[in-house]
């Protein structure tokens, strides 16, 4: 993607790319300040926005980027395929949302609201910081991949948003079965906020962190790669895309 094209995409989708994550970031900061005023621990708030809210927003918006294209007919006639343009937009969106998530987790570290168990605190700081980025990375790429794939299948941003929101609510409200069943852990997106974080210090054995946090996150990244590949294949059908553009 050239600089001119990058600037054009930023001007065209500035609300989706910048305004939405900035608004979530502002909401997080305001809520954290309110908690500090009441002398409450704000660590879970930072985690919640980085792991729960921003990835959901990215998934919903990434799906809408596919079907809400005013010049879709023109896009399908140019040399660069529309799916390539779409994936460039999705990558740009993911990169920007990742930046905001990284800011939240880094801010959490600076405020000493850390989630790592004590046995990992002896590792180099850079390794601790990199490991902590997995908090948001796996949920973010998973939601974006699912959002893109659902939109490529349904060609309806409303359906995509409804499915993602329903899944999001189910995981927040009924996390017990995901915790107790091994085969469901790989699709549970919020283990850090709901299972791992315990306040100022985390006292968990290594096997628990590996089985309930690290391994599911790795599986989610693998699923995201597979879904991106499926989406790339689905976006080859230009007639299907045009049909969706007329019904959206």
User: Is residue 119 within 8 Å of 210, Cβ to Cβ?
Assistant: no
The pair phi, psi for residue 174, each rounded to 5°, is -125, 65
Rounded to two decimals, the pTM is: 0.86
Q: Identify the residue whose tokens are 């309930």.
A: 212
Where would I find the H helices in 111-214?
125-132, 134-154, 157-173, 176-180, 182-185, 191, 206-209
Q: Identify the residue whose tokens are 């690290």.
A: 214
User: Is residue 146 within 8 Å of 59, Cβ to Cβ?
Assistant: yes
Give the tens place of pLDDT for each residue, 45-102.
888 898 999 999 999 998 888 776 655 555 555 545 677 778 888 898 999 999 999 8
Closest CA to 136 of 60, 191, 206: 191
For the chain, the domains span 3-247
- The residue among 41 and 211 whose pLDDT is bigger is 211
Q: Identify the residue whose tokens are 């399908």.
A: 76
Beta-carbon contacts of 59 under 8 Å, excluding residues fewer than 6 positions away, are 142, 143, 144, 146, 147, 164
Give the tens place of pLDDT for each residue, 178-187.
988 888 888 9
DSSP SS3 for 121: coil
């Amino acid at each position: 993607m050239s600089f001119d094209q990058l600037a054009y995409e930023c001007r065209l989708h500035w609300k989706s790319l910048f305004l939405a994550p900035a608004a979530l970031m502002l909401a997080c900061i305001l809520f954290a300040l309110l908690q500090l005023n009441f002398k409450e621990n704000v660590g879970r708030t930072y985690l919640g926005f980085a792991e729960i809210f921003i990835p959901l927003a990215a998934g919903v918006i990434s799906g809408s980027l596919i079907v809400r294209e005013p010049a879709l007919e023109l896009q399908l006639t140019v040399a660069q395929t529309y799916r390539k343009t779409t994936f460039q937009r999705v990558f740009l969106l993911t990169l920007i949302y990742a930046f905001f998530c990284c800011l939240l987790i880094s801010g959490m570290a600076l405020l000493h609201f850390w989630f790592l168990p004590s046995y990992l605190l002896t590792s180099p700081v850079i390794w601790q910081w990199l490991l902590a980025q997995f908090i948001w990375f796996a949920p973010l790429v998973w939601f974006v991949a699912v959002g893109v794939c659902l939109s490529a299948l349904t060609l309806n941003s409303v359906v995509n948003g409804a499915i993602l929101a329903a899944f999001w609510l189910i995981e927040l409200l009924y996390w017990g079965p995901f915790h107790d069943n091994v085969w469901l852990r790989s699709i549970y997106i919020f283990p850090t906020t709901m299972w791992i974080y315990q306040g100022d210090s985390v006292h968990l054995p290594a096997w628990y962190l590996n089985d309930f946090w690290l391994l599911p996150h790795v599986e989610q990244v693998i699923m995201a790669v597979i879904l991106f590949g499926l989406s790339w294949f689905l976006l080859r059908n230009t007639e299907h895309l045009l049909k969706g553009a007329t019904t959206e």
